[in-house]
Structure 1
């Protein structure tokens, strides 16, 4: 398994890791997490918010799944989780909330320390210096090892990094969503901070498995996203067909081509495609064997340039 460094503080993880957000709490998910570890995946991404019942305010459900799956395998896994999204109160990052959240996550995960701890979203009411200062105290206490931010703009990243080294920033990044290239990615490269892209396969669109709106289950959250609706859907399917054609010529799947492109954007980039199935994990890891030449990268840029996806990435809240 290829390894990549996140940040400048010594964290090294598998070049492709695993997002667990959409995993139901069942034995198949446990087998998928354990199987991924056996295949060489070392970083597993969760959050206190994730879980099938988080809408009801029950935090920690997905963390419990990850903790159960990796019990007895702690020395082989890097576990990343997040705090800061609340129900109806907006993002939070005040010291009292952080201290309460980290203890709750440690309990849910069944751990005595968290490898990588992210603020899920910046808190507009708490200076980032105060938030990161509190997280730095958690490092000193041994409750967390490395500090991360999620969906943070460039100026917040700079201010945070001035307080304590930031190891990674998690944000959406794929052929479908390239906004990070404008300001955030240059800052991360300058400061030697890792980038952990979530939804690196465009919420499944870039796998080529979604051909029509009806392919989405009736209870699938993606039905509410603009990119999966109406004329946007039709336009996006056309672009994916071009990616599929190129992948076929390269002897790989569209998902592998999309992940290989992402990996080629920087040595500090570690995507975390999410899946419930072990065979998908195996397919995604196949991207590490895909070599893209300068001509290949130019062709991908031609068929899927920045801004190509029709529709915004999120719907209205």
Structure 2
């Protein structure tokens, strides 16, 4: 088996991840692994980070198992520094990884944050990210959020310049509105739109939001963050008490003591279908997202090597059309209780920007 893999690896360019399914990232992008890896949880928002040795072990397994589409951001604690240190310790491996990072969540002197998607902040942010990563460029650079003040055309112009300068290879937007995406693509192609998508979050499909429709018309990939519902759809989290102190989910309305048991109804239905299929609930969920089209790229994150292996196992789960419809029916029948984010943060979702000449 090992010999066969080596032969196949050579035939496909010798890259470690050649054995995992790949698809083109948008109409102009490269072939990347269908399942990506979100690094946020290694560094921020889900409790205290683990020791570097444990975090490096997760990245090592990611690389060795061929999951080579990695996603970071400047707001994810020490995520960029962690990746930069991993690259230093693993010379030659960076070229096999398709690396994304983001900007626009600006730290304030008082410890707070504001969104700043201005051209000036974009340029200063990419320089800082490259320094932390120890790299001359990143593959994909996202506008993490739009500030509702800067016309998207101005932000896209500087991203277009950064691409021309070789500091970024591809352009992404996150949590943008349909209108912002369409206007952005008139300046330069947006290769990927990162958006929350899971059985708990099908918003992009709604006609009044229109993001999925626009992505498909324009040839933009859909990068699905929190595809397992921030861990809830795995079936092992049964109460807000399961979260440690400092975990963001303690403050998210969807995970409140009132809403949690109501939302478990969908979790239990997906778990039931997964048991019949002979896979885990997480694997079924990821397989269902992958089945929505080759333009969908879920990026689950984890701090656990075994969970990482479980997630990669979703690539072997093939759904029949009947099973896909059964999951879709369960999702659409479920009443999801609680918003994705606290109110102050929810204002930045599906963001519009002012007209260029306003």
TM-score by length of 1: 0.94
Aligned to 1:114: 138
> How does 1:209-288 map onto structure 2 within 5 Å?
209-288=236-315
1:144 to 146, 168, 172: 168
Hey, which bits of structure 1, 4+ residues long, moved more than 6 A?
A: none
* Aligned counterparts of 1:34 and 1:154: Cα–Cα separation in 2: 37
Which segment is superposed worse, 210-219 or 136-145? 210-219
* Aligned counterparts of 2:119 and 2:275: Cα–Cα separation in 1: 51
* Aligned counterparts of 1:89 and 1:296: Cα–Cα separation in 2: 43
* Aligned counterparts of 2:235 and 2:153: Cα–Cα separation in 1: 43
2:41 to 12, 22, 36: 22
* Aligned counterparts of 2:84 and 2:311: Cα–Cα separation in 1: 23
Aligned to 2:87: 70
* Aligned counterparts of 2:149 and 2:113: Cα–Cα separation in 1: 11
Q: List gaps (5 residues or longer) in structure 1.
A: 52-60
Partners of 2:29 and 2:170 within 8 A in 1: no
Aligned to 2:32: 13
Say which SS state the counterpart of residue 297 (structure 1) adopts.
helix
Aligned to 1:91: 115
1:39 has 2:58 as partner: no
1:314 has 2:332 as partner: no
1:165 has 2:192 as partner: no
Aligned to 1:79: 99
Say which SS state the counterpart of residue 312 (structure 1) adopts.
coil
Say which SS state the counterpart of residue 44 (structure 1) adopts.
strand
Say which SS state the counterpart of residue 172 (structure 2) adopts.
strand
2:74 to 39, 48, 56: 48
Cα 1:187/1:309, change in 2 over 3 Å: same
1:189 to 194, 208, 216: 216
Aligned to 2:4: none
Which segment is superposed worse, 250-259 or 208-217? 208-217
Displacement of 1:310:
1.4
Partners of 1:20 and 1:46 within 8 A in 2: yes
Displacement of 1:239:
1.9
Aligned to 1:302: 329
* Aligned counterparts of 2:87 and 2:212: Cα–Cα separation in 1: 32
* Aligned counterparts of 1:256 and 1:309: Cα–Cα separation in 2: 21
Alignment length, in residue pairs? 308
* Aligned counterparts of 1:50 and 1:113: Cα–Cα separation in 2: 19
Displacement of 1:213:
2.8
Partners of 2:266 and 2:334 within 8 A in 1: no
Displacement of 1:162:
0.9
Aligned to 2:177: 153
* Aligned counterparts of 1:291 and 1:86: Cα–Cα separation in 2: 42
Displacement of 1:40:
0.7
* Aligned counterparts of 1:298 and 1:89: Cα–Cα separation in 2: 41
CA RMSD of aligned residues (A): 1.4
TM-score by length of 2: 0.83
Aligned to 1:58: none
Partners of 1:213 and 1:233 within 8 A in 2: yes
* Aligned counterparts of 1:145 and 1:248: Cα–Cα separation in 2: 42
